[in-house]
Amino acid sequence: MIKALVIVPYEGLYEMMKEIQQEVHNMELHIELGNLHEGVAIAREAENNGYHFIISRGGTASMIQEAVSLPVIDIQVSGYDVLRIITLVKGFSRKTALVGFSNVTQGASTICKLLDFDINTLTITKDTEVQDKLLNLKKQGYEVVIGDVVTVQTAKQLGMTGVLITSGKEAIMDALEETRRSYRIFSQLQDEVSLFQSILDCNEQAVGVFNREVKMVYRNERFNKDFPLINLENLSEIKKVIQETFLLREKQTNIVHINHSFWKITSHPQEETIVLFLEKDPANQAIGLQGEASLNAIEFQNPPSYIPISGKSEMIQNVIKEIDQYSESEEPVWISGEQGSGKELVAHTIYLKRKHLNEPFIVLHGEVLSAEQLKGLMNEDFFQKYANGVIYFKKIDKLSPSAQKELLQIIKKETNKKVQWLLSSEGKIAEKVQNGTFNPELYSALSMLKINIPPLRERREDIEDLVHVFISELHPKYGNEVVGIRLDALEEITSYDWPGNVEQLKQVIEQLFLQTKSYYIEKVEVESVLTRLDQQEIMNDALAQIDLSGTLEEIEKQVISKVLEEEGLNQSKAAKRLGINRSTLWRKLK
């Protein structure tokens, strides 16, 4: 029996491999999700676990091949894969290019000519060429880039839309067949798991090994459990610890804040690597906040990846201009807009334009942060400690009056290190200031620069582009066959009012993407989802008028009375809608 470890760089390929795994009977496949260095780390851990082969794709496969002694089978990109992605992006209104190695671009160029697609194709010979190619494309007005994982990641860092060329079932089956052929040649099994590997994996401490470039070359099982979704290589505190240890060439002990907790990190220098031992430090978990609410009041976010703000309307273009203009300043920026309009995305964009990726992005949640917690943060000198980063006060309009006064005192006491504030509010903040529910002095101090995000219903011309962007993002996540949306289905979406704005649109597109069984989202599917959405809105409005403080019987009577009222006191219609007979309805109203 062939035992193979499959390391896939994106979620959609993971799901597809899981399905194919059920059809393969002469192989033992173990599937892991890991891109580039994450994939290499997984491969290193598994190298001595009795696997005959590692199966991966693209740049991840190449990096694994250099890092481990096991033979690596590459899932090749087929012509079908290229055709599917080119079909997916043809609905984009922006200039599109494809950047990749010759085995991709040669076939893609031919397909584009045959189908009369206006997609520029550029060939690279090594991944270090990607950034220069994309910078040149950006100068030429290109906004959408098709390619492998490295190309897509670089595109997003440069503020472009990256569309991943995903692998289809045919390419996976070819790779499995290649594995069978290779197995007949490479039949020797790997050695048993080494003693040192076992000791490290049994260690109660998280252990990670980093090289001089601050790239992780090893992590034990405990490390994977403690930091499953965090890339420590990108954290400025970790980089600083590793660099200082290399410089001083002696053991260091530091306390670092990672993912809402403080960790004690002991670093040991080796010849070309640094070994980190991480364990939670129970003595330093409060940072001035007390009670369970503190867990949700403050959030240290890893630097967010750049997501371009999509839209061709004049209103959203004005927002983009304001973002560019205000990013050159360090003054507070007040971002207002309806729920789901994209206020946090605007805050992330300003942060990324103002800051380097190793400086913190801290979110304070106004709906749960109390005056006492703010005072605790000030006593801990929290705001001055993190003044080199950006503090995003989300839903600041939800702050209690006492918390507003406390925040005003913090701003007044700012010393030579001036905090960079980004703030967001829903509704009409000017009215709250005028009627006294929001502190006018605080608003005046923090609203020097303002950005108002218009609701989606006022910029419907942006919806088409947003739909195609969301589909392109979902494709590598789920890996199904959807490549676009029918014109009549798009018209239904465009004419909808979207009370939940861009966030609601994104959720609906994801729902449609998952339930669609063909290549294109159809009108009937859109109508069905939007009907359910309207019914939910009606239900929410009805429930908002019902007093839920009474007994279950009292609440039930209120619901029945509400339905009767809406049905014009017609008991037959009300009973049918409630799913009960008329006698039951009459009895419940007695």
| pLDDT at residue 189, as a whole number | 46
**Segment 94-111 mean pLDDT:** 82
Least reliable range by pLDDT among 97-101, 341-345, 569-573: 569-573
| pLDDT at residue 280, as a whole number | 77
**Segment 18-22 mean pLDDT:** 91
Domain 79-164 has CATH 3.40.50.10660: yes
- Ramachandran category for residue 436: left, alpha or beta (phi over 0 → left; psi -120 to 50 → alpha): left
Is the pLDDT reported for residue 184 higher than 90? no
Question: Could you tell me which CATH number the domain at 294-454 has?
Answer: 3.40.50.300
**Segment 93-105 mean pLDDT:** 83
- At residue 100, φ and ψ (nearest 5 deg) are -175, -175
**Segment 245-261 mean pLDDT:** 79
**Segment 119-145 mean pLDDT:** 91
Specify whether the CB–CB gap between 259 and 230 falls below 8 A. yes
Tokens found for residue 166 = 């995903």
| pLDDT at residue 549, as a whole number | 59
What lies within 8 Å, CB to CB, of 266 at 6+ separation is: 251, 252, 253, 276, 277
Specify whether the CB–CB gap between 504 and 498 falls below 8 A. yes
Alpha helix stretches (DSSP H) within 249-342: 294-297, 314-326
| pLDDT at residue 140, as a whole number | 94
Q: Which amino acid is at 417?
A: K
Is the pLDDT reported for residue 250 higher than 60? yes
pLDDT tens profile 325-361: 999 998 999 999 999 999 999 999 999 888 765 577 8
| pLDDT at residue 497, as a whole number | 94
Is the pLDDT reported for residue 129 higher than 60? yes
First to last CA, the chain: 71
Specify whether the CB–CB gap between 300 and 236 falls below 8 A. no
DSSP label at residue 460: G
- Mean pLDDT for all residues in the chain: 84
CB atoms within 10 A of CB 589: 13
Specify whether the CB–CB gap between 87 and 483 falls below 8 A. yes
Tokens found for residue 469 = 């962007």
| pLDDT at residue 316, as a whole number | 94
| pLDDT at residue 284, as a whole number | 41
Distance CA 240, CA 266 (A): 13
Distance CA 542, CA 337 (A): 25
Q: How confident is the model at residue 179 (pLDDT cuts 50, 70, 90)?
A: very high
Tokens found for residue 84 = 């599917």
Intervals of CATH 1.10.8.60 along the chain: 458-542
Tokens found for residue 368 = 């749960």
pLDDT tens profile 300-326: 765 555 566 888 899 999 999 999 999
**436-457: burial string, b at 16+ Cβ within 10 Å, e else:** eebbeebbeebbebebebbbbe
Residue ranges of E strands in 323-425: 333-337, 361-365, 390-394, 420-425
Tokens found for residue 355 = 């800051």
Residue predicted with more confidence, 132 or 541: 132
**Segment 420-438 mean pLDDT:** 92
Distance CA 150, CA 35 (A): 10
Specify whether the CB–CB gap between 504 and 470 falls below 8 A. no
pLDDT tens profile 522-552: 999 999 999 888 877 766 665 556 665 567 6
Specify whether the CB–CB gap between 501 and 342 falls below 8 A. yes
Q: How confident is the model at residue 573 (pLDDT cuts 50, 70, 90)?
A: confident
Residue predicted with more confidence, 423 or 60: 423
**Segment 396-416 mean pLDDT:** 89
Question: Could you tell me which CATH number the domain at 195-284 has?
Answer: 3.30.450.20
Is the pLDDT reported for residue 581 higher than 60? yes
What lies within 8 Å, CB to CB, of 438 at 6+ separation is: 397, 404, 429, 432
**Segment 126-133 mean pLDDT:** 88
| pLDDT at residue 202, as a whole number | 79
Question: Could you tell me which CATH number the domain at 545-589 has?
Answer: 1.10.10
Intervals of CATH 3.40.50.10660 along the chain: 79-164
Intervals of CATH 1.10.10 along the chain: 545-589
Distance CA 445, CA 407 (A): 11
Intervals of CATH 3.40.50.300 along the chain: 294-454
| pLDDT at residue 542, as a whole number | 58
Q: How confident is the model at residue 72 (pLDDT cuts 50, 70, 90)?
A: very high
Distance CA 390, CA 347 (A): 9
Q: How confident is the model at residue 136 (pLDDT cuts 50, 70, 90)?
A: very high
- pTM exceeds 0.85 for this model: no
Distance CA 144, CA 534 (A): 34
| pLDDT at residue 546, as a whole number | 63
Is the pLDDT reported for residue 15 higher than 70? yes
| pLDDT at residue 383, as a whole number | 86
What strands lie across the sheet with 390-394, from one edge to the other? 298-301, 361-365, 390-394, 420-425, 333-337, 449-453
Count the residues in the chain: 590
Q: Which CATH architecture has domain 458-542?
A: Orthogonal Bundle (1.10)
Topology (CATH) of 2-76+172-185 = Rossmann fold (3.40.50)
Distance CA 123, CA 164 (A): 16
Intervals of CATH 3.30.450.20 along the chain: 195-284
- At residue 534, φ and ψ (nearest 5 deg) are -65, -40
Tokens found for residue 251 = 């053991």
Intervals of CATH 3.40.50.2300 along the chain: 2-76+172-185
Distance CA 274, CA 212 (A): 8
| pLDDT at residue 94, as a whole number | 86
Is the pLDDT reported for residue 555 higher than 80? no
Least reliable range by pLDDT among 267-271, 289-293, 294-298, 510-514: 289-293
